[in-house]
């Protein structure tokens, strides 16, 4: 999702490294979806059925989408510093439309392997695409005005959770797209659309990320200080608002059967749609980590940062790789072609009864991340030595 892709263009190592970190974590969640025996049966965040390790296996991946979107905004700002606002606006709108098409065509198929596209899935790439289009349209506003709009969308959209501010019809497609994500909408008798990411909060994250991009024009010492203050402030705001338990998340926390599960309840913020508390909790530590990554450059971090230099390529390839491995395991486990399609599963070759232990999920995750490195390293070298126009879209 990075914009910084032309040959010889300077980049922020910290941005690449943070993006790489969450991309590695992201694979864990997708592997769990396809390979864990309980993935299609129980919710790993359901405190009545989960275990602490299963909860955190899912919860830790909550960092991925906000960081993707936020850093895309940062990269847009840096791109605009080099190319100018008119070029940036045009690029964002075109790239945003492209990402939405990719989400519908390539990523939906990677997830479902359904050639009839009976279920269309709108996830993080759709959210980034919408955010880019909106940012491209608003880009000529003063940075202060943009920042205020971003904060309003991030911190104010939970007002729509209240009946006084929400429409009476909460089942319309527009309401799902705007705010109430995580639901399936019937497009026809044979086609459904899953709106996993409502675009109001995610557009807010994109815009605030763009405004935060100004920090990367500072000297390193000032940049680190800004990251520490911002990250600490967001964490503090989360702790305050979550403790009050009155606004910022449709699912308030409550005392559970023991201290551990009470803590899990406190941390169990809503991603669908991305609540104000969720945004603070996820972006606070991420921005704090971004500051510390400014001076962490060694052989290991240089290797890891490769993933963050080709994020869009990585994202698409890893989904196909996971589903192909799932298909192979499907046949190796003795399933037959009659079981490819299951009415209780949106994924072909992935019936609800299929799956392995959580330990096996972690092992498969490591194998896939390692296997992706030479592919990403090759593409990063190719991208660095070629200037074809289409590279800016992949």
* Residue corresponding to tokens 């592919």: 375
pLDDT reported for residue 391: 75
* Residue corresponding to tokens 């059925």: 49
CA–CA separation, 308 and 304 (whole Å) = 8
Largest interatomic CA distance in the chain: 61
Are 286 and 17 contacting, i.e. CB atoms less than 8 angstroms apart? Answer: no
Range list of H helices, 245-310: 259-267, 276-292, 299-309
Report mean pLDDT in 10-residue bins for the chain, 394 residues: 39 90 97 97 96 98 96 94 94 95 97 96 94 96 97 95 82 86 87 93 97 94 95 98 96 96 97 96 97 89 94 96 98 96 94 96 98 96 83 73
CA–CA separation, 132 and 137 (whole Å) = 9
CA–CA separation, 277 and 280 (whole Å) = 5
Continuous segment of H or E residues that includes residue 83? helix 64-83
* Residue corresponding to tokens 């991208």: 383
Q: Which of 48, 18, 12 is nearest to 301 (CA)?
A: 18
At residue 119, the 3 state secondary structure works out as strand
Counting Cα atoms < 13 Å in the Cβ hemisphere of 388 gives 6
pLDDT reported for residue 6: 35
pLDDT reported for residue 389: 73
């Amino acid at each position: 999702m990075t914009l910084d892709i032309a040959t010889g263009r300077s980049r922020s190592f910290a941005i690449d490294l943070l993006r790489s970190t969450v991309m590695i974590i992201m694979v864990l969640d997708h592997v769990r979806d396809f390979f864990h025996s309980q993935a299609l049966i129980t919710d790993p965040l359901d405190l009545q059925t989960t275990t602490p390790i299963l909860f955190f296996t899912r919860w830790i991946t909550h960092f991925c989408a906000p960081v993707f979107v936020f850093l895309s905004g940062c990269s847009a700002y840096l791109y605009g510093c080099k190319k100018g606002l008119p070029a940036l606006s045009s690029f964002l709108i075109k790239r945003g439309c492209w990402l939405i098409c990719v989400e519908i065509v390539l990523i939906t198929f990677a997830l479902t392997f359904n050639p009839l596209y009976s279920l269309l899935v709108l996830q993080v790439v759709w959210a980034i695409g919408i955010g880019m289009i909106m940012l491209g349209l608003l880009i000529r506003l003063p940075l202060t005005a943009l920042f205020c709009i971003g904060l309003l969308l991030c911190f104010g959209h939970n007002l729509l959770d209240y009946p006084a501010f929400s429409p009476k019809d909460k089942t319309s497609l527009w309401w799902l797209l705007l705010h109430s994500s995580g639901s399936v909408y019937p497009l026809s008798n044979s086609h459904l659309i899953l709106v996993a990411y409502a675009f109001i909060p995610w557009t807010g994250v994109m815009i605030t990320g763009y405004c935060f991009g100004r920090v990367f024009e500072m000297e390193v010492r000032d940049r680190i200080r800004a990251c520490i203050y911002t990250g600490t402030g967001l964490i503090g705001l989360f702790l305050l608002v979550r403790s009050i338990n009155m606004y910022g998340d449709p699912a308030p926390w409550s005392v559970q059967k023991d201290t551990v599960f009470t803590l899990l309840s406190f941390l169990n913020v809503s991603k669908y749609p991305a609540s104000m508390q969720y945004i603070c909790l996820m972006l606070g530590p991420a921005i704090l980590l971004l500051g510390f990554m400014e001076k962490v450059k060694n052989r290991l971090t240089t290797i890891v940062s490769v993933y963050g230099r080709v994020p869009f390529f990585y994202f698409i390839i890893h989904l196909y790789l996971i589903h192909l491995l799932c298909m192979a395991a499907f046949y190796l486990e003795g399933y037959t072609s009659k079981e490819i399609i299951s009415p209780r599963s949106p994924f072909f070759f992935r019936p609800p009864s299929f799956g392995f232990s959580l330990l096996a999920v972690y092992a498969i995750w490591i194998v896939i991340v390692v296997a992706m490195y030479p592919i990403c390293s090759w593409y990063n070298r190719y991208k660095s030595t070629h200037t074809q126009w289409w590279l800016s879209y992949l």
